[in-house]
Amino acid sequence: MNFEEMNIDKEILEAIKDMKFEKPTEIQEKSLPPALLGKDIIAQSMTGSGKTAVFAVPIIQFVERGKGMQALVLAPTRELANQISEQFRKMSRHKKVRICEVFGGVSIEPQIHDLRTAEIVIGTPGRMLDHMRRGTINFRGVKMLVLDEADRMLDMGFIDDIKDIVSALPKKRQTMLFSATIPDEIMYIARRYMSDPVRIMAQRHVEKHKLKQVYYDVKSEYKVSLLLHLIEKENPSLAIVFCSTRTTTDIVANHLEQNGVEAKAIHGGLTQSRRTT
């Protein structure tokens, strides 16, 4: 099945083509048809499997411009919320909708302003609950709810916040839950807050036999030089380099930058704003 066979609006199909999506991933092929029919979804899938499109497409397709908040997406971290928002903006480029990001670490005042007109709200449970308590968010028109990476939200202690938020939403809605694992607490949420959900499981999207693993036994003083050589030789479009300490991470990133490789360090010593810029 391809995207054109899924009853997706032409404006969204055009955006999908712009994003160079050639064919649906496994989770998209299995989940998009029931999602577009308005069914509740429990999808077990790994990060990077293309699951964001599973909820972005029906949300963008069915929200109505100018009718206030109609879709709520909850994610465990500010970084993930930002990634989701970026995907939504790309997929809605030909079908304009208003999107508001809601998370901590930034001023709440612009969020309060944007919440008045946004049709789609994407954010973290903590700041969402803060808006609830302030009375600055209106859930009355919400008809679609997404819990993304639900197991991570559980691990981070957001489960009570999620229960409080979901309990405040209209009972008549579509709910989609995505998680790499489905522990008992996640199933409890599904049973309590979802209606006859479709359960979908996608295999790991990485084909291990296609991965090449290489080990280099190198003295410490030559590691960064070898890394630069390998990057120049392989010319990857994207690459992730893991380092053992924050200091080493900064040193490696600076060395790559000085040698013409666009690189950024990211670690726990950076502020939230620096990690996302």
Q: Convert the pLDDT of each residue in 28-62 to its tens digit.
A: 999 999 999 999 999 998 777 889 999 999 999 99
- At residue 208 the predicted structure's pLDDT band, cuts being 50, 70 and 90, is low
- At residue 24 the predicted structure's pLDDT band, cuts being 50, 70 and 90, is very high
Mean residue pLDDT across the chain: 91
For range 66-83, the mean pLDDT: 95
Question: What pLDDT is attached to residue 105?
Answer: 85
CA angle at 185 for the pair 183 and 189, rounded to the nearest 5°: 120
CA angle at 118 for the pair 79 and 15, rounded to the nearest 5°: 70
For range 123-148, the mean pLDDT: 96
The correct answer on CATH 3.40.50.300 for the domain covering 3-201 is: yes
- At residue 170 the predicted structure's pLDDT band, cuts being 50, 70 and 90, is very high
Question: What pLDDT is attached to residue 204?
Answer: 57
pLDDT top residue among 275 and 63: 63
- At residue 206 the predicted structure's pLDDT band, cuts being 50, 70 and 90, is low
Asked whether residue 274 carries a pLDDT value surpassing 90, the answer given is no
Asked whether residue 180 carries a pLDDT value surpassing 60, the answer given is yes
Tell me the domain boundaries of the chain: 3-201, 212-275
**Do 38 and 63 meet the contact criterion of CB atoms below 8 Å apart?**
no
**Do 180 and 44 meet the contact criterion of CB atoms below 8 Å apart?**
yes
Sheet of 71-74, strand order: 99-102, 120-123, 71-74, 144-147, 174-179, 41-44, 198-201
Rounded percentage of the chain residues whose pLDDT exceeds 70? 95
- At residue 272 the predicted structure's pLDDT band, cuts being 50, 70 and 90, is low
The Cα–Cα gap between 181 and 170 comes to 27
Residues sharing a CB contact under 8 Å with residue 124, sequence separation 6 or more, in sequence order: 74, 75, 76, 77, 78, 81, 102, 103, 104, 158
